[in-house]
Structure 1
Amino acid sequence: MMDSYFSVLLIVGITTLLASFLPIVLKRFKISFTLPVLILGGLFYYINVPLPWPDPTWEIDLTLHFSEMVVIISLMVAGLKIGLNYSWREWLNPLRLLGITMPLFMAVVFIVSYYILGFSGELALLLAAVLAPTDPALASEIQLNKKQSVSSKNLGAQYNLTAEAGLNDGLAFPFIYLAILWSKSDGLNSEVWLEWLSYYVLFKIVVGVIIGMVIGFLYSYFTTRLSEGNTHKIHLAFVALSLTLISYGLAEVLNAYGFLSVFFAGLFAHYHQQKKNIEHAGHPSLSFISNIEKFLIVFWMLFFGGSIIAGIMNFVTIEIVLFSLCLVLIVRPILGYISLYGSKLNKRHKMVISFFGIKGIGSVFYLTYAIKHGEFSNTDQLFSIVALVILISILLHGLTAKRSMRAVNEEKEADSF
């Protein structure tokens, strides 16, 4: 037991050190740091490194809480970068992706899963909801890379992808709950629909948003009041992490959507500083929580690589492979482009935003959450499908993201409305 413990410490140290130097090595090749870590995870599993590997599917509780932590930290990072620097008109494009792309994507997944793959209604709905959101964690390399300001802000692909990822994780949750309710009942009767609309849609979304806004607002208010001569005493490195845990914990205690609370807390954390044009006081440190995000992503990728070798995709069929490829290569890009029709974004920005609907850690959280709280049967194939879609997304987007972002950033940023 003790030898295994020290072995794990050694592996953690080697892996984090390697991840620290990877950006330097990979800069020449213009690929994501997640790809080498993914391969390393597969190698570690193959040589039987003593880590808690999947066997072959993920252990529900461990996976649930680990993926949950990665997602909420990524959402706080996204919220802090965006802040309140964008007008309602500039939010229209992300809202197009949420209001058009996401529901149409879910409809496609449901129809194919139900009528072609032969899944039950609740499993088809669950798969649609699980795969719907883009991932705020694995998509970090194509999102905003610093805190924005009113005078100098990104209005193109990076902003739109960050805003989409920040909101759609929380907005996919109602459909996860609808699938859970369906799994526990004989069908979606009027009573189930009423409960879902009133509580799981209206109440949990509204309360979640309000909690996040209030926490962010209160933080910005008190730090502004304390800023005169006292700012240096505030340990800003810990603030972003504290706001993440407080907003998420309070929202979940009050049965609201914590994902939305975290994102909105990040948006409103700069409220008073921005209104009073205070650039130096009370801003939560992005560097500290961003490094925590990267640290957690490294180990998530490590275990994901191990799960691939462990056989998590053993339940994949030829039909599922074609289905998964189509989702990443055809369905998301086409639906994303359709939703941006009529916007003033140029063609290249539209194509990049549409193409980079990255699937990742959020999907794993939703799937494990639903399995834990619902009454689904025959879920092994869902694990395989989700793992395959994530793998395709990681490989495809990991090889193209840096090149695409570089090409887009070399252009003059187009207006996003």
Structure 2
Amino acid sequence: MVLLVVGVVVGLLPLPEGLDLDPVAIGPQIERITELAVLVALMGVGLAIDRPLRLRDRASWARWSPTWRLLAIGMPITIAGVALLGWGLGLAPAAALLLGAALAPTDPVLAGDVQVGGPHVGPAEPKAEGDGEGPPSDAAAPAEGDVDEEEAEAVDEEDDVRFALTSEAGLNDGLAFPFVGASLLIAAGTATSFGSWVGWLAWDLVGKVLIAVVLGTALGWLLGRVAFRSKQPTLRLAEQGEPLLAIAALVMAYGLVQVAHGYGFLGVFACGLTLRAAERGHEYHRSMHDVVQRLERLLTLIILLLLGMGVTNGLLGALDWRGVLVALALVFLIRPVAGVLSLRLRPRSPDLPGGLARKEALAAAFFGVRGVGSLYYLAYAAGHEYFPEERWLWSTVAFAIVVSVVVHGVLATPVMGYLERRRALA
């Protein structure tokens, strides 16, 4: 909030000659800087999550229950709700769907106050599972800098609200892309046959996601093996404490997945999450996360200052009552209702990891922070197809981000503090 306000004040001053803040004119530049910010944030989120995800362990999948619910139920409802509202207010179908896809994801960049703090590399006691989890299958001898392996496997987030929002932010940026692609198909006039939608379903919604997950996971596993267990001492970067491996992993994962025509955002998160799983208790994870976090904060500072400057230099020029209605409905109605429906439908017991009590579910449903990712999706789509409503879309998305930053920023600390005190007394 402070950065945004500073940007607004700076924007009232005479701007340097040649500095253009018109989003339509500088769309490619907005796309690049927001793309980089989201990528850095996704790597940080992947490295911050302590909760393991083992593909062959049903109990592990169950502990991620709030994530799957928010993605499979909450996100489509949010996209549909915003899109239908926009369509009802007079937007063309392509613009309405783009608006829904851009505003649906919880942002990994600006949601720091409601996310997990970073990788925990010491022992922690998770809640009792009680649903048949077997012993870990990937145990290995501890390396230098590790805690005891049994203690390392016990590392887990006790705060399921923060875990739910963090893991959702890591996955939903990549999963919003198919719907951005669908809006581009409609805008181009090529979504006129049954075959085109079958192709979208098979390739955009399934194929590209699988490519991203497989390649990102494989690269994270390979880098983890090299950094922690390579036979060549010079390649064991964990022993040297060289944290820039996280940046190298980010670039490699994004480039590899993009070349293979998958979703690069999803590939980066999968790479970070898999890299985190290597020698889970090692201090090296904290070092990598710290360097990523510093870069993320620098990019966040730049983007929020520019956003604030844009607010007082015409960015909200096309905003009307329809845009205000969409933004307020998203923050106070659509996202909270979608989140509650997803988390409270046949809920998992709050006594188990991944289970949320009623008030925790309400908090996770409400704190779907909108942010930098929304700017990226809009810039990306506008760079590929023409949308007559583009200026209105920029104003509406920017206003929704400002509302989210203020509302969620004011409420995050007291609400999360209340839940933590309540959990400590339970």
TM range, smaller chain:
0.7 to 0.9
Distance in structure 2 (CA, Å) of the matches to 1:314 and 1:272 = 49
Distance in structure 1 (CA, Å) of the matches to 2:245 and 2:424 = 32
User: 2:38 is matched with which residue: 55, 71, 93?
Assistant: 71
Distance in structure 2 (CA, Å) of the matches to 1:281 and 1:402 = 29
Contact 2:315 2:394 in 1 (8 A): yes
CA shift for structure 1 position 364: 0.4
CA shift for structure 1 position 226: 3.1
Name whichever of 221-230 and 103-112 sits farther off: 221-230
Distance in structure 1 (CA, Å) of the matches to 2:367 and 2:108 = 12
Distance in structure 1 (CA, Å) of the matches to 2:86 and 2:369 = 20
The C-alpha deviation readout for 1:270-313, integer Å capped at 9, x for no partner, is 33414xxx625677611111011011101100000011101211
Where is the helix percentage greater, Structure 1 or Structure 2?
1
Q: Per the alignment, do residues 205 and 186 of structure 1 end up closer, same or farther by CA in structure 2, a change over 3 Å counting?
A: closer
The reply to whether residue 385 of structure 1 matches residue 391 of structure 2 is: no
CA shift for structure 1 position 239: 1.2
Give the equivalent residue in structure 2 for 1:412.
Answer: 423
Distance in structure 2 (CA, Å) of the matches to 1:110 and 1:385 = 13
Contact 2:95 2:183 in 1 (8 A): yes
Instruction: Give matches, 1:10-409, under 5 Å.
Output: 35-50=1-16, 52-55=19-22, 57=24, 59-83=26-50, 85-86=52-53, 87-115=60-88, 117-148=89-120, 150-154=153-157, 155-185=159-189, 187-226=191-230, 231=237, 234-274=240-280, 279-280=282-283, 285-341=288-344, 342-343=347-348, 344=350, 345-409=356-420
How high is the sequence identity, in percent, across the aligned residues? 30
Distance in structure 2 (CA, Å) of the matches to 1:335 and 1:231 = 43
CA shift for structure 1 position 314: 1.5
The C-alpha deviation readout for 1:147-203, integer Å capped at 9, x for no partner, is 146424224111000000000001000000111111112543213212212221222
Distance in structure 2 (CA, Å) of the matches to 1:152 and 1:414 = 22
Distance in structure 2 (CA, Å) of the matches to 1:106 and 1:257 = 19
Give the equivalent residue in structure 2 for 1:15.
Answer: none
The C-alpha deviation readout for 1:45-98, integer Å capped at 9, x for no partner, is 211243834136561111000000000111111111115525211111111001
Contact 2:47 2:285 in 1 (8 A): no
CA shift for structure 1 position 268: 0.5
CA shift for structure 1 position 216: 0.4
CA shift for structure 1 position 376: 2.3
* Partner SS for 2:279: helix
Contact 1:240 1:284 in 2 (8 A): no
* Partner SS for 2:312: helix
CA shift for structure 1 position 411: 2.9
The alignment's TM-score, normalised by the length of structure 1, stands at 0.85
Q: Per the alignment, do residues 304 and 231 of structure 1 end up closer, same or farther by CA in structure 2, a change over 3 Å counting?
A: closer
Distance in structure 1 (CA, Å) of the matches to 2:184 and 2:83 = 15
Unpaired runs of 5+ residues, structure 2, are 54-59, 121-151, 351-355
CA shift for structure 1 position 320: 2.4
Name whichever of 176-185 and 47-56 sits farther off: 47-56
The alignment's TM-score, normalised by the length of structure 2, stands at 0.83
Unpaired runs of 5+ residues, structure 1, are 1-34
Give the equivalent residue in structure 1 for 2:127.
Answer: none
Contact 1:333 1:351 in 2 (8 A): yes
* Partner SS for 1:114: helix
How many residues are treated as equivalent by the alignment? Answer: 377
Distance in structure 1 (CA, Å) of the matches to 2:249 and 2:290 = 15
Contact 2:227 2:238 in 1 (8 A): no
